[in-house]
Amino acid sequence: MEKQRVVFVHGGGSYGAAAWPKQHGMALKYDALFLRRHGFDPVAEPVEPSVAADVAIILDALDSDGNAGGHLVAHSQGAIPAMLVAVEHPELVRTLVLVEPACLSLTAELPATMAYRSLMEPLFGARHRKGDEEYLQEFRRRTASAVTGPPSNEDPQRVARRLRLQAPPWDAPLHIVPGVPTLVLTGGWEPLYEEIAGYLRETGALHRVAAGGHRPHDSPEGDRIIRSFIAEAGRAPQPGYGHPA
């Protein structure tokens, strides 16, 4: 029996398989692909992010090697291109899992999102005028979720430079939600992400909480929730991708 494909899209910290330490084992059961978003490279210098380039990378992973779609799992800022793919190409997305999604454009007028933007907008506005280390320290001072994740072998200076180049998440061209079965997993620690999860829940998504801060998928419970959601969807009769959640 052919394995179902699962495509993993990282956030702003670690990338590729290193961003998903608890989900490595899913490769035994699924055709698991751990992507590297545009601008995340172990050798080349970090560059400005591109949502369009990330969308193209995800589409290629979902629709390649004779494969026609699969499950899509995304974390933090990686949720933005993942949701765009699900909105524009629902026939390719069997299920969508969003872990602490930074989809602030959906909740732009809600209180926690407005407060976060008020706090962070001055820093994002000055990102091209600040040095990498200066920006990193100020980012950490303003948010507890900065550059969290598994230990990285990368040069810390490269990590800081990549963070400084990241675009404000509230500028993402995302204004509607996809009509595919969707799970939102949050850590229950930050009102911003709970607000986004609440918005998505009201539009049909399933919302679950697991301890673990900004990386709840690293916890045993978070990993179990993700695996169970995908496994149950994989067993269910599929009249075709793109049916409402």
Phi, psi of 233 (to 5 degrees): -65, -35
193-222 b/e (C-beta count within 10 Å ≥ 16 → b): bbbbbbbbeeeebbbbbbebebbbbbbeeb
At residue 205's C-alpha, the angle toward residues 204 and 207, to 5°, is 135
Mean pLDDT value of segment 94-117: 97
pLDDT of residue 209: 98
Per-residue pLDDT, averaged over 26-46, amounts to 93
Which whole number is the average pLDDT over 22-43?
94
Q: pLDDT above 70 covers what percent of the chain?
A: 91
In CATH, what number does 5-235 get? Answer: 3.40.50.1820
- Element holding 85 (H helix, E strand): helix 79-88
Cα angle for residues 114, 11, 163 (degrees, 5° grid): 75
State the Cα–Cα distance between residues 245 and 125, nearest whole angstrom. Answer: 37
What pLDDT does residue 90 have? Answer: 96
Reported confidence tier of residue 202, pLDDT bands at 50, 70, 90: very high
151 three-state secondary structure: coil
Report how far residue 75's alpha carbon sits from residue 68's, in angstroms, rounded to the nearest whole number.
22
At 238 the pLDDT is: 52
Query: Do residues 44 and 15 touch, judged by C-beta distance below 8 A?
Result: no
